[in-house]
Amino acid sequence: MSSGDFRSDCRLSGKVTVPYMRKILKFLSSMQFALILLLVLAAACAFGSFITQGQTLSWYTTAYGERAAAAIMLFGLDDVFHSIWFVVITAFLCLNLIFCNVIRAPGLIRLWKAGFVPEKREKSCGRIYGTSEKDPAGLFSEMGFRKTVSGSFEDGTEYIYAVKNKAGIWGAWLCHLGILILIIGFGVGQMLKTETAVYGVTGQSKRIGDTSYVLTIDDFRIDLRGDETVDQYTTDFTVRNVSNGDEMSGTTSVNHPAAMFGMKFYQNSTGWAAAMHVSKGGEEIQNGVVCVGEVTPITEVPGLSILIQAFYPDFFMDADGEIGTRTSELRNPYYLYIAYYNERVIGMNALGASEYITIDDLTVWFTDPQSYTLIQITTEPFSKLALAGGIVIMLGLLLALYVQPAEMWARKKDGLWLVTGSSRKGGVLFDRALREKLEKAGIPASEKDDKEPPKGSSEDEKPGKPGERAEEDEKHGKSGEKSEEDEKSGEKSEEDEKSGEPGERAEPDEKAEVSGELSGKDLSEAEAAALEAMKLADEAAEAYRAAEERAKKAALAYKEARERAAKKFDKEEQ
């Protein structure tokens, strides 16, 4: 990528450039910003997991103290993952990914189309190379390069060239795209998601939220194993659209949700319910199913209500007055109830199957304890998009981490083949494999030395750059000349690391920035001038070294002469 891209983006008119806008865009798309975001997100997630989420101020005050509770509420730490600041960080991450992918796409396309060609390797040499008179064609297949291209360069030099795993250059780009799709799918999905629940016992019908659909529980079963542990919870149900009479039936069980009318039905949980009866003067005036935890008003007396706080199917009370259930079977059912009048507790007790509560002239009792089912109903229109994002991330990671672009080439000069190869992602492991294969084929392998270019490589090529021209071109987002210039400037290690891996995001570097401001003609002139300057600098350095050497010799000769003169003087004195 080059700063020229930013410059053109930020130009408000044909002449005016806004430097601060350029700087902001440069920062937003930088890897430095991505690294900050990754760490901040990780810290925010960790923070959110340590602070119990979704509690009230009084809860936090009890748990953490007054000041901490106030801070938690002030910064939205009671709901970190839905807080504005968390959403803003995620939005910045999306922005960073978008900029990064948009800026890198043209370079990747160029690399894909023209980056891996023999001409790019006409003069370069990888870190490991071997020279031999033998035809090296067999080595290519040994190194996993199935297809090779043979031919001659313009100067008549014969070559064999092969590339493999080209698709790997798209890995990081695809991974970024997948993360974007996932975040957008998840975020929009969360905003549009609806979630409600219907609970009840077999035979009950209830409206689904505020929709026109009514759900009827046809059957609810709890399948037990021989050891009385639960094997599965299953609900058969029917959904009817009361507005047009459409009706569908389905079955839902744990891990097997049902889908109909654009909704998904999950077997969420279960609990106990019972029929509550109310009579007055011997006549039953109220009868209905009540679930545990549900407050039911007594219609005869406004303000009076009953809550079944807990249900014990096999009730016991020990000597200390502790109550509980021995088994989950209905052997000795007891109901722990609370009676309220105008929200004040007026009674609380455990009630057996044949017992009843008397409140003034009313009698209340419970029968037919049974399990109720709770079905969670959701609509999540963008969930598939998030899932698609996840799949793209996996594909991208697979390409980025395991499909390593690699090149291998050989060229013949003066009857001698130079065989070499390069893979930035394979790195030292690729080099080691190449070394092994070369030695196995009886070709002595050498490691490229900064001072001695391998025989058979071009004289004007500066060694030390492990033959990464094509990939470098991509990373600079420039034509091959820029990369050539880098090679000649001898900034190998710094540039390598600054540029990153093929297909990886590289930091926009200052050199690219400078050249990004120049036209093609200016660029070649500047390059020529730079080359000339470097040549002169090299010559000057060489001359300096030679002069320094001569000065050292002279100093040594002077010292020796002085010592000799001193000895002679001493002898004469004696």
Cβ count near 16 (within 10 Å): 8
* Nearest alpha carbon to residue 315 among 301, 328, 302: 328
Dmax (CA) for the chain in angstroms is 149
Question: Applying CB under 8 A, does 108 fall inside the site for another protein?
Answer: no
x/- mask, another protein, residues 52-81, rule CB under 8 A, reads -x---------------------------x
Residue closer to another protein by CB (options 142, 300) is 142
Question: Applying CB under 8 A, does 50 fall inside the site for another protein?
Answer: yes
Region 234-253 residues binding another protein, contact defined as CB under 8 A? 253
8 A C-beta contact, residue 122 and residue 470: no
Residue closer to another protein by CB (options 185, 516) is 185
8 A C-beta contact, residue 95 and residue 28: yes
If you ran DSSP here, which 8-state letter would residue 53 be given? P
Question: What percent of the chain is helix, strand and coil (3-state, nearest 5)?
Answer: 45, 30, 30
Q: Single out the segment in contact with another protein by CB under 8 A; choices: 116-124, 134-142, 376-384, 411-419.
A: 376-384
The single-letter code of the amino acid at 439 is E
List the structure tokens of 335. 């109901």
DSSP secondary structure string for all residues of 447-474: E--SSSPPTTS-TT--TTS-S-HHHHHH
Region 464-523 residues binding another protein, contact defined as CB under 8 A? 494, 497-498, 500-501, 504-507
The single-letter code of the amino acid at 384 is K
Residue closer to another protein by CB (options 198, 410) is 198
* Nearest alpha carbon to residue 121 among 527, 468, 478: 468
Residue closer to another protein by CB (options 233, 417) is 233
Q: Single out the segment in contact with another protein by CB under 8 A; choices: 115-123, 383-391, 458-466, 538-546.
A: 383-391
Q: How many helices (H) and strands (E) does the chain have?
A: 15, 22
List the structure tokens of 241. 């659209």
Tell the smallest beta-carbon distance from residue 157 to another protein (Å).
Answer: 32
Region 114-143 residues binding another protein, contact defined as CB under 8 A? none
Residue closer to another protein by CB (options 57, 394) is 394
x/- mask, another protein, residues 77-106, rule CB under 8 A, reads ----x-------------------------
Residue closer to another protein by CB (options 142, 247) is 142
Tell the smallest beta-carbon distance from residue 436 to another protein (Å).
Answer: 10
- To 10 degrees, what angle do helices 469-476 and 480-489 make? 110
Q: Which residues pair with 290 in a beta bridge?
A: 274
Q: Single out the segment in contact with another protein by CB under 8 A; choices: 102-110, 226-234, 242-250, 321-329.
A: 226-234
H helix runs in 169-285, sequence order: 171-192
* Nearest alpha carbon to residue 151 among 166, 163, 162: 162
Question: Applying CB under 8 A, does 225 fall inside the site for another protein?
Answer: yes
Single out the residue of 58, 243, 244, 255 in contact with another protein (rule: CB under 8 A): 255
Single out the residue of 25, 386, 443, 512 in contact with another protein (rule: CB under 8 A): 386
- Contact residues for another protein (CB under 8 A)? 31, 34-35, 38-39, 41-42, 45-46, 48-50, 53, 81, 186, 195, 225-227, 229-233, 253-257, 264, 266, 268, 376, 378, 380, 383, 386-387, 390-391, 393-394, 397-398, 401-402, 427-429, 432, 494, 497-498, 500-501, 504-507
